[in-house]
Amino acid sequence: MEWVERLNQSILYIEEHLTSEIDYERLGQIACCSAYHYQRMFTYMAGVTLAEYIRRRKMSLAAVDLQDNHKKIIDIAEKYGYSSPTAFNRAFQSIHGVVPSAVKSEGVPVKSFPPITFMMAVKGADALNYRIETKDAFRIIGRSAPLHKEVEQNFMVVPQLWQDAAMNGTIQKLAGMMDAPPMGLLGVSACNDDEAWKYFIAVSSTKNSGEFEEYTVPASTWAIFPGSGTSHSIQKLEQRIITEWLPTSGYEYADAPDLEVYLNSDPQNAQYEVWIPVRKRQS
């Protein structure tokens, strides 16, 4: 239950800062993980991205403020962090379906999104296979793309990188340079709080990197989950790991990258493993 309590403490932090800056790294600290892992956990557990949840909460409160005819729209926009009235109008309309000025009139319907409360749910009727392994640091080589600190803005980045790698021969070149475990094509989310975030398509290799970028995956303990299917099925597995396994596992996220290890090259029937960096949960 302590794990759930931490998440609810992070929601309280969001509520207290809806009219000021919300620090994603601070949210991660409250939940004892990185800002990246916090956003992944939030999205899988809440069914909405962190950025969208914050937007909904702000616009819920803004709708209440707009019903007070003594308050100006420009002041309300500034209160919730929008320096541009145009940006505020766009955000408000995306949530409520009407422009802010319309709410000044009685009878105009708006939406209310209350604060989330996380609770433990009974799941897990289907087995979830995994193993725990401790690995030394290992070197990877490959192509990377920069990631934004707000996970929502990266939804197109990773698929585009994979598409480009398949079209320009990168995947075939990397496959020929793979010579060290883990033996497979790797998707590596290198997203700690101290460095610029990157996503790599890479292989573990001792060979000269040549045209490719190098990165060292730090030594860590990993919870490794096997799976098969398409890219959609790997997302389902990752969701089950976070919502079913992690809360009761006795582990929490460690400060290391997430890995997807693709063991074959068939995109429609892939054999893969999801590697989650973990440490024993602090009491």
pLDDT higher than threshold 60 for residue 208: yes
Pull the structure tokens for residue 146.
């920069």
**Residue 140: pLDDT band by 50, 70, 90 thresholds?**
very high
**Residue 23: pLDDT band by 50, 70, 90 thresholds?**
very high
Residue 259 contacts residue 142 (beta carbons within 8 Å): no
pLDDT reported for residue 248: 85
pLDDT reported for residue 267: 65
For residue 182, say if its preceding peptide bond is cis, omega within 30 degrees of 0.
yes
pLDDT higher than threshold 90 for residue 1: no
pLDDT higher than threshold 60 for residue 122: no
pLDDT higher than threshold 70 for residue 166: yes
Reported as a single tens digit per residue, the pLDDT across 218-248 is 999 999 999 998 767 888 999 999 988 998 8
CA distance 35 to 10: 12
Reported as a single tens digit per residue, the pLDDT across 74-99 is 999 999 999 888 999 999 999 999 99
Mean pLDDT (whole number) for 102-119:
90
As a whole number of Å, the end-to-end CA separation of the chain is: 11
Over its C-alpha atoms, the chain yields an Rg (Å, rounded) of: 22
Mean pLDDT (whole number) for 262-280:
87
pLDDT reported for residue 264: 86
pLDDT higher than threshold 80 for residue 200: yes
Mean pLDDT (whole number) for 155-163:
91
Alpha-carbon torsion (69, 73, 74, 77), positive or negative: positive
Query: Which pTM value belongs to this model?
Result: 0.86
Strands 131-135 and 198-204: unpaired
CA 193, 195, 198, 204: dihedral to nearest 10 degrees? -100
pLDDT higher than threshold 70 for residue 123: no
Region of poorest pLDDT, from 74-78, 118-122, 130-134: 118-122
Residue 169 region by backbone torsions, left for phi larger than 0, else alpha for psi between -120 and 50, else beta: left
pLDDT reported for residue 247: 86
Task: Give the percent of the chain with pLDDT over 90.
Answer: 73
pLDDT reported for residue 194: 83
pLDDT higher than threshold 70 for residue 50: yes
Residue at token pair 């794990």? 3
Reported as a single tens digit per residue, the pLDDT across 56-66 is 999 999 999 99
pLDDT higher than threshold 80 for residue 268: no
**Residue 69: pLDDT band by 50, 70, 90 thresholds?**
confident
pLDDT reported for residue 43: 93
Which has more pLDDT, 283 or 180? 180
Region of poorest pLDDT, from 101-115, 117-131, 143-157, 256-270: 117-131
